[in-house]
Amino acid sequence: MSIHIRNVSKTFGDFQALKPLDLTIQEGEMVGLLGPSGSGKTTLLRIIAGLETCDSGQILFSDKDVTRLHVRDRKVGFVFQHYALFRHMTVAENVAFGLDVLPRDQRPDKQEIRRRVQELLERVQLAHLASRYPGQLSGGQKQRVALARALAMQPRVLLLDEPFGALDARVRKELRRWLRNLHDELGFTSVFVTHDQEEALEVSDRVVVMSQGQIEQQATPQDLYHQPASRFVYDFLGQVNVFHGEANGQRLQQGDAWVAFPEAQSPQAGQLYLRSHELQLQELPSDQANLPLEVKAINLIGAEVRLELEPIGWQSDEPWEVAISHSQYNAWQPQRGDRCHAIPLAAQLFVSGQDSQPRPLQWSASGKRQPISEPLKLAANCH
Ligand SMILES: Nc1ncnc2c1ncn2[C@@H]1O[C@H](COP(=O)(O)OP(=O)(O)OP(=O)(O)O)[C@@H](O)[C@H]1O
């Protein structure tokens, strides 16, 4: 079932939680609502569910207007961050609950309910725990019961509000992949709320980024990452290094620090946004950039080594973060206090005084750069 949100707005007292917005979610799509706390994600989800009314606008499921339809008649499934399972009921009874309380003429017979519950428990890999009580389950298991309970009603739309928010990072990762597989297998339409960029980018077909009750951008994870429409989206999608400077000839300059623009690109005063893997570190400045940095912290956990670096002789609101491979790290073996230089490979320029789309910049890989994996002596020299 597709969902059409048309000109929907919502105020609480004199606070406008949602400015009039439009959004279409295609049948079978999985859409992540991503945004900082208070941006209106939950309000929008609750309006889709029928748990909240909107002040203006319409909600359509396929071509049926459900704006005034009661929550129980919208036939949507919900999963919330806090499992909300019935403590005095077993896992199987929890999953069966929605079916057991259906009006008699809609209720499947006992055998059918038992069959459906068993099938769902197998699907969420909890059949062996059917007779346990919620108090005897882990957080991840409880959340899978909550999901099975929502699916028991065979909803065409599943709405999830930070479904894995209360779980630890590893379980969270495992469950979101599992949810994505389930979504693909059963073919329902899903909308989920999260403030975790990684979660949104990993499982959504499309991500809707919200800020202050508005949609900032909606795009596939790939487009969102590569073509963020605004500074807000860029900032929100993860750690970013910012170099702000004035145009000076072919350079963007701040004090003695500078970045030379690629040929045929004229600099404009502004802020250069560089992601942690769009930079290379080396011992000396090059003809491309002079961005001296000092190593402040080293994080070895993960597929890459992340270095936290402090600008030397120039300003940045936040420390810089650069990712290098473990083999580069082993060759270089940087220590806290070591000095080095950052060389940009790619960046986006947000021009001062303009709120328009950033200008993408790309430096040719054939410059006179010395990758840091080569100069084994760098750590010793770079003091
Ligand atoms: N029932 C309410 N009464 C008054 N204000 C509300 C109510 N519900 C939400 N708000 C306000 O509306 C704004 C949007 O809230 P909402 O819960 O939609 O944000 P969110 O993006 O889901 O945030 P979070 O990630 O923290 O859950 C917030 O400023 C919130 O305080």
Render pLDDT for 40-68 as a digit per residue (tens, 0 to 9): 999 999 999 999 999 999 999 999 999 99
| Contacts of range 250-259, beta carbons closer than 8 Å, 24 or more positions apart | 252/349, 254/314, 254/315, 255/313, 255/314, 256/290, 256/313, 256/314, 257/290, 257/291, 257/292, 257/311, 257/313, 257/314, 258/289, 258/290, 258/291, 259/288, 259/289, 259/291, 259/344, 259/347
For the chain, residues classed under CATH 2.40.50.140 are: 239-381
The pLDDT of residue 381 is above 70: no
Q: Measuring CA to CA, which residue among 27, 84, 24 is closest to residue 58? A: 24
φ, ψ dihedrals at 29, nearest 5°: -85, 150
Pocket of ligand 1, candidates 9, 33, 41, 52: which has the most ligand atoms within 8 Å of its Cβ, to mutate?
Answer: 41
- The answer to whether the beta carbons of residues 165 and 89 sit under 8 Å apart is no
pLDDT band at 175 (very low <50, low <70, confident <90, very high): confident
Using the structure block, give the residue that is written with the tokens 């389950």: 137
Residues 6+ apart with CB under 8 A from 319: 296, 308, 309, 310
Q: Using CB atoms within 10 Å of the CB of residue 138, give its burial: 0 to 12 exposed, 13 to 18 middle, 19+ buried.
A: exposed
Strands in 189-194's sheet, in edge-to-edge order, are: 76-80, 157-161, 189-194, 30-34, 206-211, 214-219
Answer whether 194 contacts ligand 1 (Cβ < 6 A): no
**From the alpha carbon of 13, which atom of ligand 1 is closest?**
4
**Top-confidence residue, 377 or 202:** 202
Average pLDDT over residues 142-147: 90
In tens, the pLDDT along 81-137 reads 776 789 999 999 999 998 888 888 888 889 999 999 999 899 888 999 999 999 999
Question: Which pLDDT score, from 0 to 100, does residue 91 have?
Answer: 96
pLDDT given at position 90: 96
Give pLDDT tens digits for 8-51: 999 999 999 999 999 999 999 999 999 999 999 999 999 999 99
Q: Write down the pLDDT at residue 382.
A: 39
CATH 3.40.50.300 positions along the chain are: 3-226
Check whether 371 has a pLDDT greater than 70: no
- pLDDT greater than 60 at residue 266: yes
Q: Report the candidate in 2, 57, 41, 68 with the shortest Cα–Cα distance to residue 160.
A: 41
Cα distances (Å, whole numbers) of residue 66 to 22, 69, 71, 72, 200: 15, 5, 9, 11, 27
- The pLDDT score that the predictor gives to residue 365 is 61
Share of the chain above pLDDT 90, in %: 64
Per-residue pLDDT, 369: 45
Question: What integer pLDDT is reported at residue 356 of this predicted model?
Answer: 72
Please tell me if the CB atom of residue 17 comes closer than 6 angstroms to any atom of ligand 1.
yes
Q: Residue 367 pLDDT more than 70?
A: no
Q: Does residue 268 surpass a pLDDT of 80? A: yes
| Residue 72 pLDDT | 83
Q: Looking at the domain covering 239-381, what would its CATH class be?
A: mainly beta
Residue 35 CA, closest ligand 1 atom number: 21
Mean pLDDT, rounded, of the chain: 89
Q: Which two tokens stand for residue 241?
A: 């290094």
For strands 189-194 and 157-161, give the pairing.
parallel
pLDDT band per the 50, 70, 90 thresholds, residue 264: confident
Span 292-330, pLDDT tens digits: 999 999 999 888 999 999 999 999 999 999 999 999 999
Closest atom of ligand 1 to 39 CA is: 21
Does the CB atom of residue 211 touch ligand 1 within 6 A? no
> What was the pLDDT predicted at 366?
47
Any ligand 1 atom below 6 A from CB of 42: yes
Strands 270-275 and 206-211: unpaired
Lowest-confidence segment of 124-138, 168-182, 216-230 by average pLDDT:
168-182
> Would the CB of 39 count as within 6 Å of ligand 1?
yes
Q: Whose CA is nearest to atom 29 of ligand 1?
A: 38
**Class of 3-226 in CATH:** alpha beta
Amino acid at position 27, single letter: E
Pocket test for ligand 1, best of 9, 15, 44, 193 (most atoms within 8 A of CB): 15
